[in-house]
Amino acid sequence: MPSTPSDPGAVHGLNIPHEDWERTPASLRTVVSRLQEIVAELVKHIEELEAWIGRNSKNSNRPPSSDAPHQRVKRKKSKDKKNPWAKKGHQGHQQALLEPTQTVPVPPTACSSGCREFVGLRTFHTHQHIELPEIAM
How confident is the model over 41-97, as pLDDT tens digits? Answer: 999 999 999 888 877 777 777 787 777 777 666 666 666 566 677 777 777 777 777
Asked if residue 72 belongs to a domain, the reply is no
Q: How many domains does the chain have?
A: 1
Residue type, 132: L
How far is 117 from 108, CA to CA, in rounded Å? 10
Predicted confidence (pLDDT) per residue in 99-128, tens digit: 877 777 777 777 778 777 777 777 666 667
What is the pTM assigned to this prediction? 0.39
CB 66 within 8 A of CB 57: yes
The residue segments making up the domain with residue 2 are 1-55
Tell whether 48 is covered by a domain. yes
Residue 117 belongs to a domain? no
CA–CA dist 31, 3 (Å, integer) = 18
Does 101 fall in a domain? Answer: no
Beta strands in the chain (DSSP E): 10-11, 14-17
Sequence-distant (6+) residues with CB within 8 A of 64 are 57, 72
Residue 24 in domain: yes
Whether 65 is in a domain gets the answer: no
